Amino acid sequence: MELNVLKDMFIQEYGEGEVEVYFSPGRVNLIGEHIDYNGGYVFPGALTIGIYGMVREREDNIIRLRSKNASGEIIVNLQEDIRYDEKDDWGNYPKGVIKKIKELGYNVNGLDILFYSNLPDGAGLSSSAAIEVLTAYILLHKNKGEDVDRVEIAKMCQEVENKFVGVNCGIMDQFAVALGRENNAILLDCASLYYEYVPFDLKDASLVIMNTNKRRELSESKYNERRAECDKALEIIRTHREVENLCQADVKDLDYIEDEVIKKRARHAITENIRVKDAVRVLREGDIEAFSKLLIESHKSLKDDYEVTGLHLDTIVEEALKVKGCLGARMTGAGFGGCAIAVVKNEVVDEFIKEVSKNYKEKTGIEAAFYVSKIGDGVKYMGRC
Ligand code: ADP
Ligand code: MG
């Protein structure tokens, strides 16, 4: 987006003067689903769509928060205790971050902030992490310039989402948003925070994000159920041999598990972690077809063994794979709605979107949305205008 368009937006809200602009991306997990809590790897990348933050300093101790995408103005008095308030709705995300940064001893001054997003919220592309990391970056950038510790930002924002907002998420989202790098995906072990960048080049193909526009119902209760099932699988395997976590177990270890459901859950965790490593290897070799096939296998495993897809995700992936030139597709995120991704040859992208959109609507009655995105940088300062 052009800086002057963003500046005009800000001026309409808060009046004439200089404006500073920041950007925080959404994220997508390419492969490695539902295994972070089993000691496995995730493989996310930051997107080129996200949330812009326009900022101007104030003379007093007030932070005003407004969003082009949501109603209400939230006033934060920096001299008072900052508390979660249901009435503040979306404002609780930035409020929690302001509170945390003050607690860490940073100097926080009065600001007018306007958010503007071209990222769908609630779709599993992590707009919540984007707004948290954006707020943290704005406040820390005002203290330390570019010399901010991005891993620290990810950690503090996860803590805000867990403890202040009350959503039990892992660190992947905040990590990808804070540490994203253009044209690179991040291979990340969420437990140890070991990570490495892997060049992401689809050659003559594009990454298409397909939003089912189906809200992620059930995902929280099923998430807890799956975690418990995986714990059970690990417990059984450990009565036979020592393994640190479920992803470290071997496919052969599945023979120890009698219960068919527990066995399927474990099979997903073990094979998905292998697929992540394979995906990184073939991507490094530039084999986009092999990478895409792993996406298809990942979806199948999430559908049949882990059972977290549902009609909408299955339909959109099935319809995507029917289009010639679509090399691979899978659900991404927690499942039960939200988004899927597809790797599509550049020359058929427009036709792909038209075709999948039509067929998905016919089968589900819902209008899907499509975004062609590159892997972009993490949160950044865009400049003063
Ligand atoms: P996801 O992170 O997958 O997009 P969440 O339910 O975790 O979904 O977070 C979505 C919430 O984040 C929204 O309901 C809203 O409270 C907040 N949010 C996201 N984007 C914006 C925005 N541009 N302006 C205001 N609030 C936003
Ligand atoms: Mg979220």
3-state secondary structure of 376: coil
Provide the CA 322 distance to its chain's centre, in angstroms.
27
Report whether pLDDT(136) > 80.
yes
H/E segment holding residue 48: strand 44-57
Condensed to tens digits (0 to 9), the pLDDT of residues 178-235 reads 999 999 999 999 989 999 999 999 999 999 999 999 987 767 789 889 999 999 999 9
> Rounded mean pLDDT of 1-5?
92
For ligand 1, say whether the CB of 131 is within 6 Å of any of its atoms: yes
3-state secondary structure of 365: coil
Mean pLDDT over each residue of the chain, to the nearest integer: 96
Report whether pLDDT(251) > 80.
yes
Atom of ligand 1 minimally distant from the CA of 173:
2
To the nearest 10°, report the CA torsion of 321, 327, 331, 337.
Answer: -40
Condensed to tens digits (0 to 9), the pLDDT of residues 151-162 reads 999 999 999 999
- Among residues 169, 163, 170, 100, the alpha carbon closest in space to that of 137 is found at 100
Beta bridge partners of 51: 24, 117
Which one of the listed residues 112, 173, 253, 305 is annotated catalytic? 173
Residue 10 pLDDT level (bands cut at 50, 70, 90): very high
Which residues, in sequence order, are CB contacts of 17 under 8 Å at separation 6+?
A: 11, 56
Distance 131 CA to ligand 2 centre (A): 10
Are 341 and 295 in contact by the 8 Å Cβ rule? The answer is yes
Euclidean distance between CA atoms 238 and 245, whole angstroms = 9
Distances (CA, A) of 334 to 49, 84, 207, 293: 20, 26, 19, 21
Residue type, 249: A
**In the chain, pLDDT over 70 holds for what percent of residues?**
99
State phi, psi for 183 to the nearest 5 degrees: 60, 25
Condensed to tens digits (0 to 9), the pLDDT of residues 275-325 reads 999 999 999 999 999 999 999 999 999 999 999 999 999 999 999 999 999
Distance 287 CA to ligand 1 centre (A): 35
The string of DSSP codes covering 142-174 is HHHTT---HHHHHHHHHHIIIIII-----SHHH
Condensed to tens digits (0 to 9), the pLDDT of residues 330-383 reads 999 999 999 999 999 999 999 999 999 999 999 999 999 999 999 999 999 999
Q: Model ipTM?
A: 0.99
Report whether pLDDT(25) > 80.
yes
Report whether pLDDT(86) > 90.
yes
Beta bridge partners of 195: 188
Pairing mode of beta strands 111-117, 205-211 = unpaired
Pocket mutation for ligand 1, best pick of 51, 64, 131, 216 (most atoms within 8 Å of C-beta): 131
Which residues, in sequence order, are CB contacts of 215 under 8 Å at separation 6+?
A: 122, 337
Taking the CA of 121 as reference, the closest ligand is 1
Atom of ligand 1 minimally distant from the CA of 116:
23
Distance 237 CA to ligand 1 centre (A): 39
The protein residue with its alpha carbon nearest to ligand 1, atom 8, reads: 122
For ligand 1, say whether the CB of 121 is within 6 Å of any of its atoms: yes
For ligand 1, say whether the CB of 165 is within 6 Å of any of its atoms: no
* 173 flagged as catalytic: yes
Atom of ligand 1 minimally distant from the CA of 120:
4
Q: Which two tokens stand for residue 182?
A: 């253009």
Report whether pLDDT(91) > 80.
yes
For ligand 1, say whether the CB of 122 is within 6 Å of any of its atoms: yes
Distance 346 CA to ligand 2 centre (A): 30
Query: Which domains occur in the chain, in start order?
Result: 3-200+376-384 (3.30.230.10)
Atom of ligand 1 minimally distant from the CA of 123:
3
Residue 34 pLDDT level (bands cut at 50, 70, 90): very high
- How many CB atoms are closer than 10 A to CB 238? 15
Residue 168 pLDDT level (bands cut at 50, 70, 90): confident
Pairing mode of beta strands 339-345, 205-211 = antiparallel
Are 257 and 295 in contact by the 8 Å Cβ rule? The answer is no
For ligand 1, say whether the CB of 72 is within 6 Å of any of its atoms: no
Distance 328 CA to ligand 1 centre (A): 28
Strands lying side by side in the sheet with 62-67: 70-77, 62-67, 111-117, 44-57, 20-29, 380-384
For ligand 1, say whether the CB of 332 is within 6 Å of any of its atoms: no
Secondary structure letter of residue 363 according to DSSP: H
Residue 32 marked as a ligand binder? no
H/E segment holding residue 67: strand 62-67
**Crossing angle, helix 92-103 and helix 127-144, to 10 degrees?**
40
